[in-house]
Amino acid sequence: MKVTFRIWRQENSKSKGRFKEYETEGLNEDMSFLEALDHLNEQLVLQGEEVIAFEYDCREGICGQCGVFIDGRAHGPHRNITTCQLHMRSFKDGDVITVEPWRATAFPVLKDLVVDRSAFDRIIEQGGFITAKTGTAPEANAIPIGKEIADKAMDAAACIGCGACVAACKNASAMLFTSAKINHLNALPQGKPEAYSRTKDMVAQMSLEGFGNCSFTGACEVECPEGISISNISEMNSWFLKAKLFG
């Protein structure tokens, strides 16, 4: 299989970037998309060119590190998967495939396809936790949590923090991410006591980081590898309102 990769190259966060084309041969349909990029990089090494920097770690769709924009979509042509789960069988021989980094003011490009997503960590830092010291927990079954609630918390907690929601959103909003984090903890009895302050602080940090607002277009839900529901955003908004009124 033979394709042309059109890839964003950028030296570092200060320099200007541009697209560069690479004709790539010797691919096969069973290769994952990242393996195809590995293959291209091996060619580049031998040709004396610097490799394309891109990110990954688990290659199992769970660490959230491998996000890139492929042909105008976060994580490529399919819904609800990560880039590492995309396979070359989704492309045709001779395709020209455009690959670029996430584009958002809050995610500056560090090099080529690598962006800085530490804004997400700073949102967590403002309350994405339950304040409990090690060694102070009551017996786990002492606080029963109905299956529906546990499942609801789990649905939100499944977020892998890849940033596809931000990349897919025309406003570069981080509302899907932030709301998933807030709703996971706010749903559980252990997380309830801090629900109001958590919501206010995390939302405030989200704005400080320069993420845009949500206009309910729904692209985030479509591209989210975990299919996190956009209804999380309305729920967060309602927590936010309650926090302002009563918190």
Q: How far apart are CA 141 and CA 65, in angstroms?
A: 35
CB of 102 or CB of 240, closer to another protein = 102
Q: How far apart are CA 221 and CA 242, in angstroms?
A: 25
Residue 122 engages ligand FES in binding (rule: CB under 6 A): no
CB of 56 to ligand FES, least distance (A): 4
93 binds, among another protein, ligand FES, none (CB under 5 to 8 A by kind): none
One character per residue 58-97, x = contact with ligand FES (rule: CB under 6 A): xx-xxxxxx---------------xxx-------------
CB of 77 to ligand FES, least distance (A): 16
CB of 65 or CB of 186, closer to ligand FES = 65
Q: Is 127 left (phi over 0), alpha (psi -120 to 50) or beta?
A: left
204 binds, among another protein, ligand FES, none (CB under 5 to 8 A by kind): none
Residue 227 engages ligand FES in binding (rule: CB under 6 A): no
Q: How far apart are CA 195 and CA 197, in angstroms?
A: 6
CB of 65 to another protein, least distance (A): 5
Strands (E), 26-157: 69-70, 73-74, 96-100, 109-111, 114-115
Question: Contacts with ligand FES: how many residues (CB under 6 A)?
Answer: 13
Cα 87 to the chain's mean position, in Å?
19
Q: Is 185 exposed, middle or buried (0-12, 13-18, 19+ CB in 10 A)?
A: buried
Structural element, H or E, at residue 235: helix 231-246
Q: How far apart are CA 16 and CA 126, in angstroms?
A: 33
CB of 67 to ligand FES, least distance (A): 8
CB of 94 or CB of 144, closer to another protein = 144
Q: How far apart are CA 241 and CA 238, in angstroms?
A: 5
CB of 165 to ligand FES, least distance (A): 14
**Residue 177 and residue 102 in contact, taking contact as beta carbons nearer than 8 Å:** no
Q: Contacts with ligand FES in 44-63 (CB under 6 A)? A: 56-59, 61-63
CB of 132 to another protein, least distance (A): 5
Which residues bind to ligand FES, rule: CB under 6 A? 56-59, 61-66, 82-84
